[in-house]
Chains A and B, each alone.
Chain A
Amino acid sequence: MSVTRRQFVIAGATMVMGAGSAARGAMAFGEESRFNFGLLRYDSPTWNPRPNAISRLLLELELSTSLLIETDARPVNADLEDLVDCPLIVLAGDRGFEPWSTGEREALATWIRAGGLLLVDSSEGRADGEFYRSVQREIDAIMPGESLARVNRDHVVFKSFYLCDGSEGRVVVENYMEGVEFDGRYAILYSHNDLMGAWARDDFGNYEFQVHPGGERQRTMTMRLGVNIAMYALCLDYKEDQVHVPFILRRRRWRVE
């Protein structure tokens, strides 16, 4: 029986986690309880430019956090039937794309209102390319009056698990992320730096792309940013709260000293 590099890595990781982790999977509720990314399928030949990237990030989440995950990204169309099962979706691409239909836009607008988070990852390698403008066009249509704006470096998404700064990616086109806020949270996050390019490995476990200019450290930080985005999707501003916990805990005099 042949064993792929990927299967080998997963098996090894499972041994490291021990019996508790084994029980974690065995006792899990249905698949829908597991954390996963959806990958938006749209009319473009490169809607999935880094096919092995998200599963690598999911594996990283499985290994280093308490999350219960599905191991593969779930391709989803921009219709309510698909979107209904997936609150976190990645829109990836390296070129401009045709305008989406009204139905697709309405479905995504509804999905965002319901609490969905769209992570947009550009692998076109420049700041104001066709992909960026296409995304901006769709945001205009889905969320009229809203546009991408720079995400502050001290935003909780950069400290939801690891400490990051927003300049992570396979390349550093921009040293910040952009986003659109809705209902007190980011509904859209946009990376110019090809996050998935840094995450992607082939079936033998080799990284598929070189990382510039920071090398492996930059790759590690990009993986961490992926973990942070997942944590932000699930915990929102939880980490922001932690700063205030000591104060909130002791604010009341609820006991007689």
Chain B
Amino acid sequence: MLRAFGDYNEGEFLFLGNWGPPFLWLFGAIALALIVLTWLDLSALPLRRRVVLVGLRGLTLVAAITLLLEPALELKHVTRVKNHVVVLLDSSRSQTLETGGDQTRFERALTQVERLRRRMSQPSEDHLFEFFAFDSGLEPASLNAAATVTPDGDSTEILEALRAVAERFGRRELGGIVLISDGVDNGELSGRVERGEGLDADTTAFVEGLGVPIHTFATAQAGELRDVAIGRVFHDDFAFVRNAVEVEVDINVRGYESGTIPVTLRREGQPLQTREISLERGTSTYRVAFEFVPELLGKEIYSIDVPVREGEALRDNNIEHFVIKIIRDKIRILHVVGRPSWDVRYLRQLLKNNPNVDLISFFILRTNEDIQRAPQNEMALIPFPVQELFEEQLGSFDLVILQNFTFRPYRMRQYLPNLRDYVYGGGGFMMVGGEQSFASGGYAQTEVLDVLPVDLPGGTAVDSLVDPSDFRPQLTRAGQLHPITRLEFDRGSNQELWETLPEMPGTNIVLEARNDATVLATHPNLRAGGDPMPVLAVREVGEGRSLAMTFDGSWKWNFSHVVDGGNSRPYTSFWNSAIRWLIRDPALNLVQVEIAAEVYSPGEEVAAVVRVYNPDYSPADAVSGVARVWRRDLETLVPGQRGDLVSEHPFTTDARGRFDLRFDLADTGAYAVEAVAEVEAGVPLSDEEIFLGVVRGGEFRDIEPRPELLQALSEASGGRARIAPARGGGRLDFAPARVEQVDRRKVIDIWSAPWLLLAFVVILGLEWGLRRRWGRL
């Protein structure tokens, strides 16, 4: 196509002769036959003359055929619609990395932009040049002010950027794309195309479907850097407490091919496990697997890190933080009973009827003191698996209930330290009374005493260790408010209910409560250390909790209370609350904090909700409280510490019992939102939830440039792939502008031109003359 011809801005050759393809083939065949015959006819001549004459004959035939085809030139003046050529500049943070030379990738990119700018600043009839910076989205920019672009994007999403360009301009209006990047994609494209692989079918189809060339300029080349990076971390967002959890991580290693690298998994900053990888030549990604057992409910901050090696391009990618929410699937309870009784039966029935309870029961149905009246094979008894329960499997339980059980006949004295450690480590423990419990069960001089809420008498005089007289537990002030003994919402009604519940048939004798224990109910007559003797007490023990219940008649709160005309609610409420309290069920909290996400980036708005409930779990309206935001440095995490107070937000709950907290996150760190409210005057309740403030995205997980990925995009689209900065930008072809309309046209016949006829006559005459001269007619 001719681009300009006088007043016309476009022209093209035409053939006016209306010959169809059969005739064209025929003309060609005749011409070929004539040339062959001429060649044979001139066989007697020397080769040079023969070639000259045959050549002239050929030219004659070409001229003749040309005349038959009637060539012409069509000149047009057309109106074009310019298409858009889009320049995409990668503005992600990986562009800040230095290349092998003294420039960063982004500086290389700017140099390339400058060279393109010179060319793209020239007037063009076909193209409008558009300039965008991209990372996780497109940002319009100016080709002349590229230097104002800041490479601070947290991800590189090439395919998403191309798709956005196509949607923005429409494929019909697009003339081409110039992509300037290091190719370190961490969007959809990297998920589709692994290193060393060609483009996948979907991406290829998408690129081809654009219908325009994508010219790429790679700002860095492979092999230019040395780095060890935490790549993708594969973990579930939540896990079950006391269930093994697997976490896998890819370690990306560039430029190091020997030695070992320790990879450490940490929980709340404390080392949990370390794995070592041995570097191998030709391997750049190493998969490392960890397995651990979370012991506590709630959210925990985990991190995986590798040490910084000499010469590393980047240190920020040597550590990755993440949050796992630890939840409970079922409450796993070990119920060990020294002697079947009605109290045992009712508790068992309650536990069995609770679908959220995984119950393991062991009842001592006979002891060695009992007479064996039948051969073993006629009895349905099994040995008591002491070791398995109290050594091998103890840690798998959320709650251990010892009910009227003494350890003495079962050679399990050696396992009692395990029970103590289990409670300190986060387990729930409850001792229910009976003549084989507490001091009369022999626990006074054991490690179990360390975790009980009450002290025990050390004597062995059996009469002094139990009191068989009936009594009615008296609620203490703490007991009136505690969720375990708060059987009725109204305090007065609750007190009244306790006063009408059936009496208990006897109690174990215990001493005073531990200093850090809470006494919920006392004996009306017996005293310990000058105070009423505790019969129901709870205690926080390390990470765990314990409860002492010195009587074994709570079944009467069900059976006798029902028969007396009441209902079983006091019994079920008491026990369900006791279990939930012992296992630290978060749902039992009257103040609850929820945070919408586990991870936020600096600059994002954090959304938290504080919910406050009345003791009957109805929403607490117009309750005042305060929410505090705490922050810890991720580098110096210490379990149990809150860190620095960031902000404080006094609040009053609305009719739904909630307060919505919004604040902007200023910095990275491990954050906690704490809410404190007084549902009842003088009794502050609190809850706390954590979240992570980190720069999100995997921009630095793998910083090895991928020029081959850019090249594959170029090749699939018909564009060119270059390494930036390329001189002058090289030759870049784009799709031509679309013609909107033809304003005027003119056809110039070439075949009828005198010079063409003259040329035909001259060639023919020259051939004739030479033939005669060389003796051929």
Contacts and interface: CB of A to CB of B under 8 A. Distances in A.
Interface of A: 13, 16-18, 20-21, 23-24, 26-33, 35, 60, 63-68, 80, 83-85, 87, 110-111, 113-116, 159-163, 184-185, 220, 224, 231, 233-239, 241-242, 245, 248-249, 252-256
B17 interface: no
B435 interface: yes
B216 interface: no
Contact of B552 (A23, A33, A116): A33
Contact of B349 (A20, A115, A256): A115
B563 A17 contact: no
A84 to B, nearest CB: 4
Interface string B192-223: 00000000000000000000000000000000
Given A29-B506, A30-B506, 4 more contacts: A29-B466, A66-B339, A66-B370, A224-B378
A114 B563 contact: yes
A27 B340 CA distance: 16
A254 B470 contact: no
Contacts of B388: 249
Contacts of A115: 345-346, 349, 558-559, 562
Contacts of B470: 30, 32
A247 to B, nearest CB: 11
Contact of A85 (B346, B372, B435, B560): B560
B446 interface: no
Given A17-B370, A64-B372, A115-B558, A33 B345 contact: no
A235 B344 contact: yes
Contact of B360 (A67, A248, A254): A248
A27 B466 contact: yes
Contacts of A114: 558-560, 562-563, 568
A29 B433 CA distance: 9
A237 B373 CA distance: 23
Contact of B348 (A162, A163, A238): A238
Nearest to A34: B341
B338 interface: yes
A20 B380 CA distance: 24
Given A13-B371, A238-B363, A256-B244, A233 B395 contact: no
B374 A162 contact: yes
Given A16-B371, A28-B468, A32-B505, A80 B564 contact: yes
Contacts of B395: 254-255
A185 B352 CA distance: 12
Contacts of A80: 563-565
A33 B349 contact: no
Contact of A30 (B358, B440, B469, B568): B469
A21 B242 contact: no
B345 A235 contact: yes
Given A33-B505, A80-B563, A115-B559, A27 B345 contact: no
Interface string B648-679: 00000000000000000000000000000000
Nearest to A60: B373
Given A29-B505, A113-B562, A235-B345, A253 B244 contact: yes
Closest 10 CB pairs of A and B: A29-B506, A30-B505, A114-B562, A234-B340, A32-B505, A27-B435, A254-B396, A253-B244, A159-B380, A30-B506
A80 B559 CA distance: 11
Nearest to A242: B382
Nearest to A228: B380
Given A33-B505, A66-B338, A231-B365, A236 B349 contact: yes
Contacts of B367: 20, 66
A165 B675 CA distance: 61
A31 B243 contact: no
Contacts of B462: 23, 26-27
A159 B378 CA distance: 9
B506 A33 contact: yes
Given A110-B563, A115-B559, A163-B380, A253 B243 contact: yes
Nearest to A113: B562
Contacts of A63: 370-371, 373
A64 B373 contact: yes
B435 A29 contact: yes
A234 B341 contact: yes
B716 interface: no
B466 A28 contact: yes
6 contacts: A33-B435, A110-B562, A115-B558, A239-B380, A248-B360, A249-B388
Contacts of A20: 367, 369, 409
A252 to B, nearest CB: 5
Contacts of B431: none
B359 interface: yes
A65 B365 contact: yes
Nearest to A241: B361
Contacts of A66: 338-340, 364-367, 370
Chain A CB count within 10 A is highest, among B332, B378, B563, for B563
A248 B344 CA distance: 21
Contacts of B292: 256
A82 to B, nearest CB: 10
A33 B558 contact: no
B745 to A, nearest CB: 82
B434 A29 contact: yes
Nearest to B560: A84
B507 interface: yes
Contacts of A31: 505
Contacts of B339: 66-68
B435 A184 contact: no
A18 B468 CA distance: 23
Interface in B419-476: 433-435, 440, 462-463, 465-466, 468-470
Nearest to B370: A64
A27 B367 CA distance: 17
A242 B349 CA distance: 15
A156 to B, nearest CB: 9
Interface in B675-721: none
A163 B466 contact: no
Chain B CB count within 10 A is highest, among A18, A24, A27, A110, for A27
B366 A241 contact: no
Given A16-B371, A24-B435, A236-B348, A245 B360 contact: yes
A29 B552 contact: yes
B596 interface: no
Contacts of B363: 235, 238
Nearest to A251: B358
B22 to A, nearest CB: 81
Contacts of A87: 342, 345, 559
Contacts of B378: 162-163, 224
A254 B562 contact: no
A143 B340 CA distance: 28
B386 to A, nearest CB: 13
Contacts of A231: 340, 365
A89 B366 CA distance: 23
B242 A254 contact: yes
A115 to B, nearest CB: 5
A28 B435 contact: yes
Nearest to A36: B342
Contacts of A21: 369
A27 B466 CA distance: 6
B553 interface: yes
Contacts of B396: 249, 252, 254-255
Contacts of B465: 27
B563 A238 contact: no
A161 B381 contact: yes
B379 A161 contact: yes
B742 to A, nearest CB: 77
B393 A249 contact: yes
Contacts of B463: 26-27
A234 B434 contact: no
A110 B568 CA distance: 12
Contacts of B469: 30
